[in-house]
Amino acid sequence: MSHGKFRKGGKTMSLRSDELARSPFTPGALPPIMCPVCSFVGHWEGSDCPDVPCPNCGATGEIRQVFPDGSAYKLLKMLTYFHKVAIDRTSESENRLIAGLAERLGRACAKKEAHRALEEVHRIYSVRRRRGQEYDRAAAAMQKLLSIDSDAEAREVVVLLLAHHETVEEHAAVVILTCTLLEKLLDDLLVLMAGTRDAQDYRTARQTVKSLGRFDDRKKLFKKISRISLAAAVERCPAERFWSTWCGLRKTRNHFVHGQPFAISVSTAEHAFRLATNSVPVFAFLQNLTCLSKQTDG
Ligand SMILES: [Zn+2]
């Protein structure tokens, strides 16, 4: 395969310090750089300078690329934004709930107390009962838990608690964008693998990956080219539990998309955000594991 030919299809990005400073995951540090000759990704002194040799293949004079590409960084910025908004909106909604409870109880309500009341109401409503029984049970439970005198007041508190949503739309946005980012990084990796290991030119490699339907087909192609399963390769990365969390996240995203609008919880979004923040080093590791052209030469 001609690396020169393959390279023409790839995107190059110039490194601008103001862009790097705005990058959400590299505060004060450069993003990884990729050598366009051997596909090595890493940080090395003067890595953005074409005159400094690549530590893997020794090539000089080539414009180095930022890894991953601009679209990946855009997705990272988007999901960082939604993650922050999710936290802000959740805390606003929690404050509104606590204020509402305090008003009805006629006294201050601690955050811990509000959480216990919420958990109890959700627990009662999570069991299928005869119509109306949940409401009666929840009102009785609230009367006891929050020391409320009248049944009518306890029922008002139950309504208030049921109207409170722990998640906001931005939690789902973080999960969906993280899945999109990981799938995009995997597809880019497979294209590069098909190019460097399977001797396909860029257009054919892109077409091969584009024609894959399910995630399982991507796993099969990964194994066919690298002779190691995607799960085993990811498990060799320093990021802890990345593979199992990714699999769980994909399932939850699919449940959400296919008719379960409450499938995504606050903790799902937190797991997703952690995956997103680790995605660049993990995929840099995978690329160095599977794509270095020096490996095939040796
Ligand atoms: Zn190189």
pLDDT digits (tens, 9 = 90+) for 212-223: 989 999 999 999
Q: What is the pLDDT at residue 283?
A: 96
Name the nearest CA neighbour of 98 among 157, 57, 46.
Answer: 157
Sole residue written with tokens 């910025």: 77
Peptide bond into 68 cis (omega under 30): yes
Kindly list the domain boundaries of the chain, sorted by start residue.
1-67, 91-163, 167-292
CA of 245 to the centre of ligand 1 (A): 32
Count how many residues are written for the chain: 298
Please state, for a pLDDT cut of 70, what percent of the chain lies above it: 88
> Which of 118-127, 137-146, 170-179, 202-211 is the least confident region?
118-127
CA of 63 to the centre of ligand 1 (A): 11
CA of 236 to the centre of ligand 1 (A): 22
CA of 158 to the centre of ligand 1 (A): 63
| Residue 257 pLDDT > 50 | yes
Q: Give the confidence band of 29 by pLDDT, cuts at 50, 70, 90.
A: low
Sole residue written with tokens 């958990």: 119
CA distances to 28, 117, 273, 280 from 20, rounded to whole Å, are 8, 46, 20, 14
**What mean pLDDT, rounded, does the chain reach?**
86
CA of 49 to the centre of ligand 1 (A): 13
Between CA 76 and CA 184 the distance in angstroms is 12
CA of 117 to the centre of ligand 1 (A): 59
CA of 191 to the centre of ligand 1 (A): 18
CA of 182 to the centre of ligand 1 (A): 25
CA of 128 to the centre of ligand 1 (A): 61
CA of 9 to the centre of ligand 1 (A): 17
Name the nearest CA neighbour of 281 among 84, 76, 78.
Answer: 76
Residue 5, helix vs strand vs coil:
helix
Bridge partners for 41 per DSSP: 34
Q: What is the pLDDT at residue 8?
A: 30
Q: What is the pLDDT at residue 159?
A: 95
Q: What are phi and psi of 65, to 5 degrees?
A: -105, 150
The mean pLDDT of 197-220, rounded to a whole number, is: 91
DSSP for residue 61: S
Instruction: Evaluate the CA torsion angle 111, 114, 120, 126 in order and state its sign.
Output: negative
CA of 141 to the centre of ligand 1 (A): 66
CA of 58 to the centre of ligand 1 (A): 6
| DSSP-assigned states of every residue in 175-239 | HHHHHHHHHHHHHHHHHHHHHHTS---HHHHHHHHHT--SHHHHHHHHHHHHSS-HHHHHHTSSS
Q: What is the pLDDT at residue 25?
A: 45
Instruction: Evaluate the CA torsion angle 171, 172, 177, 182 in order and state its sign.
Output: positive
CA of 195 to the centre of ligand 1 (A): 15
CA of 294 to the centre of ligand 1 (A): 9
Give pTM, 2 decimals. Answer: 0.78
CA of 35 to the centre of ligand 1 (A): 5
CA of 203 to the centre of ligand 1 (A): 22
Instruction: Evaluate the CA torsion angle 225, 73, 4, 48 in order and state its sign.
Output: negative
The mean pLDDT of 85-92, rounded to a whole number, is: 93
Q: What is the pLDDT at residue 166?
A: 86
CA of 293 to the centre of ligand 1 (A): 8
CA of 36 to the centre of ligand 1 (A): 7
| Residue 24 pLDDT > 60 | no
CA of 53 to the centre of ligand 1 (A): 8
The token pair that represents 100 in the structure block:
């509402």
- Decide which of 200 and 157 is more confident: 157
Q: Give the confidence band of 130 by pLDDT, cuts at 50, 70, 90.
A: confident
CA of 8 to the centre of ligand 1 (A): 16
> Which of 9-18, 96-105, 166-175, 190-199 is the least confident region?
9-18
The token pair that represents 81 in the structure block:
């934004």
Between CA 111 and CA 123 the distance in angstroms is 18
CA of 283 to the centre of ligand 1 (A): 17
